[in-house]
Structure 1
Amino acid sequence: MQIFGAAHQATTLQLRVYDGDLKYYTHNAVAANIYNKWFRLNVIHNVGARKVTIFIDGEKKLVVKDHGRASFYFKYGVYAAPSGSSHYMESRWKGIKLFKKLW
């Protein structure tokens, strides 16, 4: 899952899977052993506070600063694999909802 857009790089957030663990970019494990499991992912991007909060199954797992003002949009799916990894990749999503706080 990604939040595309940032002041000096392509993304504000990337959640990636390495060896079965969900990670913030390539570090900061967010959830362990997620292969073949459904889980609820909630991401809050507070643009005004420049803060991204990640919840897994209702539990706050990570809070990080965003990467600066930009035009943002969400993406989810499978995009790339590290060298030497499986040729089979799959990502399933359901019940996606997007909420926007109106000031």
Structure 2
Amino acid sequence: MQIFGASSRATTIMLRVYDGELAIYRRSWRLLSNMYDRWIKVNVIHDVGASNVKVYIDGVLRYEGSGAGGHYHYFKFGVYAQDDPSHRMESRWRGISLLKKN
């Protein structure tokens, strides 16, 4: 999952899985272990005005950090090949909601 758009890089935040661990970018911040073959609930709050990003996993705040600037942002999620890709990579998504603060 990614939030594209930032002033100094392509994304504000990126969640990635390496060796069964959910992490921010390249393992800089580990959020959860034992990721394979299970459902998790991910909530991300990106407050552009306050320059803040929060990531909740199964209702628990696992990460809070600064935004990365930029004027245009969008969410993107799916499976992308990365270092040492598997022949079977899969993610399933349901119940997606996007809320916009007025």
TM over 0.5: yes
Q: Which structure 2 residues correspond to residues 1-103 of structure 1 after superposition, within 5 A?
A: 1-26=1-26, 27-82=28-83, 84-102=84-102
Distance in 2 between the 1:47 and 1:80 partners?
Answer: 29
What is the Cα-based RMSD across aligned positions, in Å?
0.9
Supply the AA of the counterpart residue of 2:88. Answer: Y
Matched positions, count: 101
Distance in 1 between the 2:51 and 2:65 partners?
Answer: 9
Q: For structure 2, list consecutive stretches of 5 or more residues without a partner in the other structure.
A: none
Distance in 1 between the 2:51 and 2:60 partners?
Answer: 21
What stretches of structure 1 move > 4 A for 4+ residues in a row? none
Normalized against structure 1, the TM-score is what?
0.94
Task: Give, in angstroms, the shift of residue 14 of structure 1.
Answer: 0.3
Normalized against structure 2, the TM-score is what?
0.94
What is the percentage of aligned positions where both structures have the same residue?
50
